[in-house]
Structure 1
Amino acid sequence: MARKGISAKDLRIAVQGFGNAGYNFAKLAKEEGFRIVALSDSKGALLSNDGLNPEKIMFHREKHKEFKAMLYCDVSICEEAEHAVITNEELLALDVDILVLAAMENQITSKNAANISAKTILEVANGPIDSEADMILEEQGITVIPDVLANAGGVTVSYFEWVQNRAGYYWEEDEVNEKLEKIMNKEADNIFVLADEKNISLRTAAYLVGVSRLSGAIRDKGTKEYYQMH
Structure 2
Amino acid sequence: MPAEGVNTQKELNPLANAERQFEEAAARLNLPPGVKEFIKRPRRVTIQSLPVQMDDGSIRVFTGYRVQHSIIRGPAKGGIRYHPGVTLEEVEALAAWMTWKCAVVNIPFGGGKGGIVCEPDKLSKTELERLTRRYAADLSDLFGPESDVPAPDVNTNEQVMAWIVDTYSMHERRTEYAVVTGKPLEVGGSAGRREATGRGVLFCVREACEHLKRPLRGATVAVQGFGNVGSVSADLMAKDGARIVAVSDVTGGVQNPEGLDVPALIRYAADHRGVKGFPAGKPLTTSIVEHGCDILVPAALENVITADNAERVRARIVAEGANGPTTPDADRVLQKKGLFVIPDILCNSGGVTVSYFEWVQNRMGLYWPEAEVNQRLEHTMVHAFRDVLAKSLEHHVDMRVAAFMVAIERVVKVIMLRGVYA
TM-score w.r.t. the length of structure 1 is 0.87
Q: Name the residue aligned to 2:237.
A: 29
Unaligned runs of 5+ in 1: 71-79, 226-230
- Choose between structure 1 and 2: higher helix proportion: 1
Counterpart among 222, 233, 248 of residue 40 in structure 1: 248
Counterpart among 377, 381, 394 of residue 197 in structure 1: 394
Q: Is the 8 A contact 1:57 1:69 kept in 2?
A: no
Q: Deviations over 1:3-24 (max 9, x none)?
A: 3343222311000111111111
Counterpart among 209, 214, 217 of residue 6 in structure 1: 214
Matched AA of 1:114? E
51-60 vs 162-171, greater mean Cα deviation: 162-171
Residues 1:160 and 2:368 are matched in the alignment: no
- The separation in 2 between residues aligned to 1:66 and 1:165, in whole angstroms, is 35
Q: Relative to 1, partners in 2 of residues 1:98 and 1:69: Cα closer, same or farther, differing over 3 Å?
A: farther
Counterpart among 105, 111, 130 of residue 327 in structure 2: 130
35-44 vs 60-69, greater mean Cα deviation: 60-69
Deviation of the 1:95 alpha carbon: 2.2
Q: Is the 8 A contact 1:53 1:69 kept in 2?
A: no
Q: Name the residue aligned to 1:121.
A: 318
Matched AA of 1:59? R
Q: Deviations over 1:75-105 (max 9, x none)?
A: xxxxx43x3211462x211221100001111
Question: SS of 2:245's equivalent?
Answer: strand
Aligned length, in residue pairs: 214
Equivalence map 1:9-20=2 (5 Å):
9-20=217-228
- The separation in 1 between residues aligned to 2:300 and 2:372, in whole angstroms, is 29
Q: Name the residue aligned to 1:85.
A: 283
Deviation of the 1:64 alpha carbon: 4.5
Deviation of the 1:28 alpha carbon: 0.9
Question: SS of 2:397's equivalent?
Answer: coil
- Name which structure has the greater RCO, CA cutoff 8 Å, separation 6+: 2
Q: Name the residue aligned to 2:55.
A: none
Unaligned runs of 5+ in 2: 1-208
Question: SS of 1:49's equivalent?
Answer: coil
Q: Percent identity?
A: 39
Q: Relative to 1, partners in 2 of residues 1:9 and 1:69: Cα closer, same or farther, differing over 3 Å?
A: farther
Q: Relative to 1, partners in 2 of residues 1:87 and 1:217: Cα closer, same or farther, differing over 3 Å?
A: farther
The RMSD of aligned alpha carbons is 1.9
Matched AA of 2:357? F
Matched AA of 1:85? P
